[in-house]
């Protein structure tokens, strides 16, 4: 019971307040004690909690394995129907999140669609809608920006109640990022500023994580509109919030965003320094969502400075990751063609 209390306490401290390596380690140690005690059904719930800490520290594959192990335990039997167990339902989120960041997009979509079907069958409109939002997150990374905007518009008209601020602000953030990519800058600014104001007005659980993609979206917006001073300020804020975590995907993307801002300002020395940090950040971890973008920006940087050999090396690395992401989707999945047809992707895939 003491181990269970510690595991829950330290998990909730991180999930609510932000990344803390000491708390995460204490949760891991408590989980080891729970596992040693031998009650698998007790283990299952705490394993799901810990999987979320693994996910926010870029251990995406471990997070996936922990969630699947929890599901397997719950499916073994017991008094409760696993489909009505809160831990099982948490897995409906962490499994696709992990698969998304691993670049296994086809499996992520499959897990989400299975979850939506289950929720609709059980009349759980809340969770079904939330899963649709996470499907839109996959679509965003696969460059289906119009699809993201359509999904978020539906979400924003549905979640307009103060009891669901978490879903509301994530919808605003995702919609704003997609509107920027579509060139709809006024709408993008409206959504992203609203998301930031919501966070400043009232902090809710895991806002500390959402501040990373929000800062990324705002940096891209200011770059797209040519507001370089604001882009630089936001990129620096993006870097600050990510470096306070153990999240390597967002850290690498923050360094890459700072490199892009430096390129726009023609500060090639800073661009090189930021790019070097982005590459170091990705060493030893699976971060395909960042990898293809970081290497693509490296191509632009080294082509601009006349290092054609280095540029070709980064193009090959970016291209390999792009193809890995595309091939994770079934050949008949429209999202695969959408991703490969995106201008930034085509530019890397083009013959040198």
Q: What is the pLDDT of residues 106-155, one digit of tens each?
A: 999 999 999 999 888 888 888 888 999 999 999 999 999 999 999 999 88
Residue pair 60/49 in contact (Cβ under 8 Å)? The answer is no
Answer with the one of 61, 79, 105 that is the final residue of a domain. Answer: 105
In a domain? residue 215 = yes
In a domain? residue 191 = no
The domain that contains 238 carries what CATH number? 1.25.40.10
Average of per-residue pLDDT across 170-175: 95
Give me the pLDDT at residue 163, please: 46
In a domain? residue 149 = no
Average of per-residue pLDDT across 170-199: 97
* Rounded percentage of the chain residues whose pLDDT exceeds 70: 95
| 352 and 216 together in one domain | yes
Answer with the one of 70, 105, 140 that is the final residue of a domain. Answer: 105
| 214 and 101 together in one domain | no
State the residue range of the domain holding 257: 209-352
Question: For residue range 296-331, what is the model confidence (pLDDT) as tens digits?
Answer: 999 999 999 999 999 999 999 999 999 999 999 999
In a domain? residue 76 = yes
User: If you average pLDDT over every residue of the chain, what do you get?
Assistant: 93
In a domain? residue 344 = yes
Q: Which of 73, 66, 84 is nearest to 42 (CA)?
A: 73
Residue 263 has pLDDT above 90, yes or no: yes
* Residue carrying the six token digits 């669609």: 113
**Total domain count, the chain:** 2
Weakest-pLDDT range from 14-28, 86-100, 216-230, 337-351:
86-100
Residue 164 has pLDDT above 90, yes or no: no
pLDDT band at 229 (very low <50, low <70, confident <90, very high): very high
Answer with the one of 105, 134, 153 that is the final residue of a domain. Answer: 105
Give me the pLDDT at residue 162, please: 43
In whole angstroms, how far apart are CA 301 and each of 8, 268, 274, 306, 345?
46, 8, 11, 9, 16
Give me the pLDDT at residue 160, please: 46
Residue pair 295/310 in contact (Cβ under 8 Å)? The answer is no
Average of per-residue pLDDT across 277-294: 98
Question: For residue range 49-77, what is the model confidence (pLDDT) as tens digits?
Answer: 999 999 999 999 999 999 999 988 888 76
pLDDT band at 352 (very low <50, low <70, confident <90, very high): very low
Residue 248 has pLDDT above 70, yes or no: yes
The three-state (H, E, C) secondary structure of the chain, written as one string: CHHHHHHHHHHHHHHHHCCCHHHHHHHHHHHHHHHHHCCHHHHHHHHHHHHHHHHHCCCHHHHHHHHHHHHHHHCCCCCCCHHHCHHHHHHHHHHHHHHHHHCCHHHHHHHHHHHHHHHHHCCCHHHHHHHHHHHHHHHHHCCCHHHHHHHHHHHHHHCCCCCCHHHHHHHHHHHHHHHHHHCCHHHHHHHHHHHHHHHHHCCCCCHHHHHHHHHHHHHHHHHHCCCHHHHHHHHHHHHHHHHCCCCHHHHHHHHHHHHHHHHHCCCHHHHHHHHHHHHHHCCCCCCHHHHHHHHHHHHHHHHHCCCHHHHHHHHHHHHHHHHHHHHCCCCCCHHHHHHHHCHHHHHHHCCC
Give me the pLDDT at residue 30, please: 97
In a domain? residue 167 = no
Question: For residue range 189-225, what is the model confidence (pLDDT) as tens digits?
Answer: 999 999 999 999 998 889 999 999 999 999 999 999 9
Q: Which of 123, 122, 217, 210 is nearest to 168 (CA)?
A: 210
Is the Cα torsion angle 338, 297, 317, 94 positive or negative in sign? negative
- Residue 89, classified by CB atoms within 10 Å of its CB into exposed (0-12), middle (13-18) or buried (19+), is middle
pLDDT band at 86 (very low <50, low <70, confident <90, very high): low
Give the Cβ contact number of residue 24 at 10 Å: 20
pLDDT band at 239 (very low <50, low <70, confident <90, very high): very high
| 225 and 342 together in one domain | yes
Give me the pLDDT at residue 78, please: 56
Residue 291 has pLDDT above 70, yes or no: yes
Distance (Å, rounded) from C-alpha 150 to C-alpha 224? Answer: 22
Residue 22 has pLDDT above 70, yes or no: yes
In a domain? residue 127 = no
In a domain? residue 327 = yes
- The size of the chain, in residues, is 352
pLDDT band at 252 (very low <50, low <70, confident <90, very high): very high
């Amino acid at each position: 019971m003491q181990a269970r209390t510690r595991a829950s306490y330290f998990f909730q401290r991180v999930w609510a307040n932000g990344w803390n390596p000491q708390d995460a380690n204490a949760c891991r140690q408590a989980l080891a004690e729970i596992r040693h005690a031998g009650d698998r059904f007790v283990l299952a719930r705490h394993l799901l909690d810990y999987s979320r800490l693994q996910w926010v520290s870029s251990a995406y594959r471990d997070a996936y394995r922990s969630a699947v192990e929890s599901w397997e335990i719950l499916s073994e039997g017991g008094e409760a129907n696993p489909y009505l167990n809160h831990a099982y339902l948490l897995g409906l989120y962490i499994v696709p999140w992990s698969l998304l960041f691993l670049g296994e997009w086809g499996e992520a979509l499959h897990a989400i669609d299975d979850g939506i079907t289950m929720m609709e069958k059980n009349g759980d409109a809340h969770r079904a809608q939330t899963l649709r939002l996470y499907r839109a997150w996959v679509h965003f990374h696969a460059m289906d920006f119009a699809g993201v905007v359509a999904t978020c518009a539906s979400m924003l008209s549905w979640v307009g109640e103060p009891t669901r601020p978490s879903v509301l602000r994530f919808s605003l953030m995702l919609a704003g990022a997609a509107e920027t990519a579509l060139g709809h800058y006024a709408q993008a600014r409206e959504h992203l500023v609203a998301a930031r104001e919501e966070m400043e007005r009232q902090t809710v659980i895991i806002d500390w994580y959402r501040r990373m993609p929000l800062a990324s979206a705002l940096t891209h917006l200011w770059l797209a509109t040519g507001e370089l001073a604001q882009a630089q300020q936001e990129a620096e804020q993006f870097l600050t919030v990510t470096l306070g975590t153990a999240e390597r995907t967002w850290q690498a993307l923050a360094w890459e965003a700072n490199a892009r801002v430096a390129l726009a300002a023609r500060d090639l020395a800073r661009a090189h320094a930021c790019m070097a940090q982005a590459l170091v950040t990705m060493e030893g971890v699976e971060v395909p969502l960042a990898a293809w973008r970081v290497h693509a920006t490296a191509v632009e940087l080294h082509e601009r400075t006349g290092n054609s050999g280095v540029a070709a090396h980064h193009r090959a690395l970016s291209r390999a990751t792009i193809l890995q992401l595309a091939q994770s989707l079934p050949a008949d999945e429209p999202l695969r063609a959408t991703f490969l047809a995106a201008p930034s992707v085509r530019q890397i895939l083009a013959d040198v």
